[in-house]
Amino acid sequence: MSTRQIRERAEGGESLAGREWTVDVGPVAHGGHCVARHEGQVVFVRHTLPGERVVARVTEGRVGDSFVRADAVTVLERAPGRVEPPCRYAASGLCGGCDFQHASLGVQRQLKGDVVREQFSRLAGLDVDVSVRPVPGDEDGLRWRTRVEFAVDDLGRPGLRAHRSRTIVPLDDCLIATRGVIDSGVLDTDWPDIESVDVIDAAHPDEPVLVPLPVAPGSDASGGLVGELVRDGDWEGEYVVSARGFWQVHPGAASTFLARVVALLGAGPGDLVADLYAGSGLFTMRLAALVAPGGSVLGVEGDARAVENGIRNTEHLEGVEWRANRVDRELRSLVSQGVSADLVVLDPPRTGAGKDVMRLVAQLRPRRVIYVACDPAALARDVRVAGEQGYAMSSLEAWDAFPMTHHVECIAVLEPASPDDGRR
């Protein structure tokens, strides 16, 4: 038996990578691909659309695997809404940053809506009616990404990675990056002995911030502070965040989500609001003004640096308290003390809040919970847990804050399942 055969037996079965199959493409799936079958084998195919017939080249998978991954390399029958990708790097074997450049914006949003509906049906047992709305501030789905981390290859050339690969694709432009990111000169510069370069195009300072990684000894690993201006109707506020911390990268996302959270939450004077996974206080600073006089906002965030920025952003406001703690630990402490809340805002990371947090939130007995989610699967799982705790989803919105990619932002409203539940 050859070394190759021994390795293949140990790893599973014979590798199928490189095989080309003609397949009929079925529905979109979560993750930026569509589902097809070849002789009973499930195939997740990128660069295609439902209803197409394509030649798919296998990129990952072995005989006996439950599914394999593939790229569409030839389109034999096109679906309505297919367009020529605006970026020449959005192709099989090249940059993996975009999933849907081959689809019109309308079709992209339809596909994302299909994914949201499928995730809620499968994971939460709910039939949801949702359409994906555009977020203002991009250029027909391009030039919206205000922060990009460019990888650097062994020759010092900056680029982006291929899909599910460590391979770096050198490039001279990224069409979803803002003009400020590209005009920074990052792609025109050689970066010897550097692994990657993070470029941040914020409102302040006027020039983009470039952070080579690894950071030189003695340098600020956070990249320093950047400022963002957000608006909710006639109200506007400026807040600072760490350049390499979490913030919404679409220029219209922060103001859009702030306005929707405020409108859906319905906070008023005297309310006690728990702002969980509060970051640097995007929602906290606006809510503090709405619950005054007599109300308060508790911001809970596990990142100590973000809490420092949050304190700075809200130090001029009354009724704001910050806790630098894991959300589950802080909630457990609050519940043990018998603390309750009128309203809760949840904006967890992509993995979601999780069972423990959702159960503890229900024990605060809020009259309404607003959940901001960047992953519909995680949101659907948490909504199911909320339902088990007596909280039902009363509305769901979806927003296209990441055009050309499969990502979609959702905002869900959870309320006591019966009018007699909750604080009021």
Per-residue pLDDT tens digits for 105-149: 999 999 999 999 999 999 999 999 999 999 999 999 999 999 999
Residue 108 within any structural domain of the chain? no
Residue positions in the annotated binding site? Answer: 248, 277, 301, 347
Residue positions in the annotated binding site for S-adenosyl-L-methionine? Answer: 248, 277, 301, 347
Q: Can you give the chain as a three-state secondary structure string?
A: CCHHHHHHHHHCCCECCCCEEEEEEEEEECCCEEEEEECCEEEEEECCCCCCEEEEEEEECECCCCEEEEEEEEEEECCCCECCCCCCCCCCCCECCCCCCCECHHHHHHHHHHHHHHHHHHHHCCCCCCCEEECCCCECCECCECEEEEEECCCCCEEEEECCCCCEEECCCCCCECHHHHHCCHHHCCCCCCCEEEEECCCECCCCEEEEECCCCCCCCCCCEEEEEEEECCEEEEEEEECCCCCCCCCCHHHHHHHHHHHHHCCCCCCEEEEECCCCCHHHHHHHHHHCCCCEEEEEECCHHHHHHHHHHHCCCCCEEEEECCHHHHHHHHHHCCCCCCEEEECCCCCCCCHHHHHHHHHCCCCEEEEEECCHHHHHHHHHHHHHCCEEEEEEEEEECCCCCCCCEEEEEEEECCCCCCCC
Per-residue pLDDT tens digits for 281-339: 999 999 999 999 999 999 999 999 999 999 999 999 999 999 999 999 999 999 999 99
With cut-offs at 50, 70 and 90, classify the pLDDT of residue 205.
confident
Last-in-domain residue among 160, 193, 219:
219
Domain match, 208 and 289 both: no
Which residue range(s) make up the domain with 193? 147-219
Domain match, 390 and 287 both: yes
> Is the confidence at residue 379, as pLDDT, over 60?
yes
User: In the structure encoding, which two tokens stand for residue 168, read together?
Assistant: 């770096």
Residue indicated by tokens 């994302």: 112
Which residues are catalytically annotated?
A: 374
Mean pLDDT of the chain: 94
Residue 1 within any structural domain of the chain? no
Domain match, 372 and 396 both: yes
Measured CA to CA in angstroms, residue 141 lies from 85, 88, 112, 410, 414 at distances of 12, 16, 14, 18, 30
Q: Which of 250, 258, 213 is nearest to 231 (CA)?
A: 258
Last-in-domain residue among 164, 198, 219:
219
Per-residue pLDDT tens digits for 238-251: 999 998 888 899 99
Number of domains within the chain? 3
Residue 89 within any structural domain of the chain? no
> Is the confidence at residue 3, as pLDDT, over 50?
no
Domain match, 172 and 318 both: no
Domain match, 247 and 326 both: yes
CB 381 within 8 A of CB 398: no
